[in-house]
Chain A
C-alpha cells in the first residue's frame, strides 16, 4: 500500500462521521439492544427488564419448532444455491448478445424483482389455490389430476411451494448480476463458445465460468443471505401463520409478535444472525484477503 500523500489523518473520519453516526444510532444500537433482549424474560422489554441468563437459548435447544425452522432454512439455502444460480447464469448467457430485442427480453425477465412481496404473495396465492388455482387447473387440464395438491395447505409441500416463489423472484436477480459479470468477459469468447458447438460445454467450463467467478461469488453471497433471511414470502402467503413452513425469521416474528415473547424472539434472531455471519465471514475474509493493497 502506498502512503496516501498529503491526506490528513482526520480526512477519512470527516467523511465517515455522518454515515457512522446515523448507522450507529439506527442500526448498531438497536442490534446491541436486541442482543441484550435475548437474555431477558418474555415481554419484560415492554414492562421493565428481567434478566434470565441463557434460559431462552436453553429452551431453543429443546424446541421442535426451532429445529423445524433450521431444517426449513437449510432447504431454502440448498434450493437457493442449486436453482437460481445455474438458471440465472443460463438466462444471462442466453440474453448476452447483440440480437435485436434482447433489451426487451432482459427488461421483461427482470420484472418480478420490481414487485413487492405483498403483490407477489397475492399473485401466487391464485396459482397455488387448491381448486381454482392456476397450477392445479393446468395439471387437471393436461390429465395429471393426481398431481394437483393443496400446495400451501399440506405440510409436505408448503416449504417447497414457498421456496419456488422465492426462486422465481431470485432468478432475475442472479441474471442481472451475471449480465453485469459477463460485461467483463470478452464477447468473442462467449460467441466462440456458442458457435463452436462441439466444445461448447468445455469452453463454458474452462473459459466462461472461471471468468465469471467474481459474479458467482456475489450471486452466492446474496443467495445465502436471502435464503437465511427468508421471511416476507412466508409472511404474506401464510397469513402470518407459517406453521409447517416456519423458518428462523418467521419463527422469530411469531414468537415476538404472535406470542408477545420478545425475549425468546430475540434469542432466535441472535442464532440466525450468528449462522448467517458464519457463512459470510468465510466469504468476506477471503475477499478482503485477496484484495490488492492500494
Chain B
C-alpha cells in the first residue's frame, strides 16, 4: 500500500515537473541580505504557482553588469532580469531588447494603480512601460551618532556647519568623511548631491544629459567644493584602497564620522551597531531647495525571453503590496508600491526627506551613459587624490563628454 502511494506520488512528481513551465530569473543580488530576502520571495511565488518552476541564478553585481548585453541578446535569454530604472534601462528598450509590459500586467489594471505616477517616466520608454519597480531607497549622509555625541556635534544643515563638523572631527583624530573609493561609483553620490546642492536639479539634468560642459563655471564650482574637502584633509586616508564595504568599518568603529551612501549601507552594518548609525539630509549650499538620489531597482523581461507569460505573472506578483513588503520590510527599503508598508522609523524619515525634495535623480551611472558616468566618477576619485589639479582633470573629462555624446547619436 505504502509502496503504491509512493510510486503514485513519484508519478505525480514527474508529471508535475514535465508540465511545469520553467522560469529563469537572472539576479545580481549576490550580497547576503538581499539574496536571502529574494529567495524567500521566490519561494512564496513558487508556492502560489506550482505550475511554474522558478530557477534563480545569482551573478556577482559587477560581473552581472558586464554580462547584461549578453543576457539580453542571447537566443534563449533569461525570462526575467534584475535591473535599474532610468537611462540604463531605456537604452535597451530603445534598441528593442526589452518586452513591453502592457497596463494589464499590473495587478490593479494599470501602472498608476500600484505605483506613484512619478515613477512612470523612469520605467517607460516612448510611452511604453518596460520596467517593474520593486524597491527604492535614498542616499544621505550616514553618520555615527556616538561620535557626534562624544564631540557634542549636532547635525549640520548648511555647508558651513558641515565644514565645521569636519574640522572638529579632524582635530580629534576622526576621519570626517569615509568613502570606499576603490569602488569608484561611491563618488557618484558626491557628484549628484554636490551639484544639485550648488546648481539645482534642472542644471544637473542638463549635465547628465550631456548638454553642459564639465568646465562650465557652475560645474567647476561644484567640483571646487569637493576638491576643497580633500585639500582640507577631510576625506578618509587611503580611501582609494577600500571597497565600499570596507569603508563602512571605520564609520561603525567610530574612526570615521560620516559616509555619503545609499540606504543599503545598513546591510553592511553589524546588527549590534545599527543603533549607532543614522543619517541626515545633505547640507544645503546656498540654495533654498534640495535634491535627492532615489535609485529604483526592479525587473525587466528581455524581448527574447522564452516564457513571457510566466515572466509577466512573476512581475505581477512582485508588484503586489504583499510581495514588496516581504522584500523591503526585511531590508529596510521603501516599496515602489504606494500601499507598501513603511518598514521602520528610519524609512519614515527617508520618505519625508524625499517628499520634501525639489528634485530626484536616479544616480549618476543610471542617468548618464555608462562610459560618461564611469569616467566622471574616476575623475572625482582623481580629484580626491589630487585636489589641486581638479581643473585639469575636468578639462580632460570634458573632451570625453563631447566624444561620448556625439557617439550616442
Residues of A within 8 A of B (CB): 41-43, 46-47, 59, 64, 128-131, 150-155, 238-241, 243, 257-261
Shortest beta-carbon distance from A58 to chain B in Å: 12
Residue of A nearest to B240 (CB): A153
Q: Chain A residues with Cβ under 8 A from B403's Cβ? A: 59
How many B residues have CB within 8 A of the partner chain?
A: 26
In the bound complex, what is the Cα–Cα distance between A131 and B246 (angstroms)?
A: 11
Q: Which 8 interchain pairs have the tightest Cβ spacing?
A: A153-B241, A259-B371, A153-B240, A150-B238, A257-B66, A130-B238, A150-B241, A153-B238
B183 at the interface (CB under 8 A from A): yes
- Assess whether A243 is in contact with B378, with CB atoms less than 8 Å apart: yes
B62 at the interface (CB under 8 A from A): yes
Q: Chain B residues with Cβ under 8 A from A257's Cβ? A: 65-66
Instruction: Show 8 A/B contacts (Cβ-Cβ < 8 Å), sorted by A.
Output: A41-B407, A130-B237, A150-B241, A153-B240, A154-B240, A239-B243, A243-B381, A259-B371
5 further A-B pairs in the complex, CB-CB below 8 A; given A153-B242, A261-B371, A261-B407:
A151-B241, A152-B182, A153-B241, A257-B66, A258-B371
The 8 Å CB contact of B241, one of A152, A240, A241, A261, is: A152
B305 at the interface (CB under 8 A from A): no
Q: Chain A residues with Cβ under 8 A from B73's Cβ? A: 46
- Assess whether B62 is in contact with A240, with CB atoms less than 8 Å apart: yes
Are A129 and B241 CB-contacts (below 8 A) given A241-B183, A259-B370? yes
Residue of B nearest to A128 (CB): B241
Q: Chain B residues with Cβ under 8 A from A153's Cβ? A: 182, 238-242
Shortest beta-carbon distance from B202 to chain A in Å: 27
Q: Chain B residues with Cβ under 8 A from A238's Cβ? A: 182
Shortest beta-carbon distance from A199 to chain B in Å: 50
Q: Chain B residues with Cβ under 8 A from A128's Cβ? A: 241
Residue of B nearest to A131 (CB): B238
In the bound complex, what is the Cα–Cα distance between A241 and B185 (angstroms)?
A: 10
Q: Chain A residues with Cβ under 8 A from B407's Cβ? A: 41-42, 261
Are A239 and B370 CB-contacts (below 8 A) given A152-B241, A257-B66? no
- Assess whether B69 is in contact with A46, with CB atoms less than 8 Å apart: yes
- Assess whether A239 is in contact with B182, with CB atoms less than 8 Å apart: yes
In the bound complex, what is the Cα–Cα distance between A129 and B62 (angstroms)?
A: 21
In the bound complex, what is the Cα–Cα distance between A261 and B66 (angstroms)?
A: 12
In the bound complex, what is the Cα–Cα distance between A153 and B237 (angstroms)?
A: 10
In the bound complex, what is the Cα–Cα distance between A130 and B241 (angstroms)?
A: 7
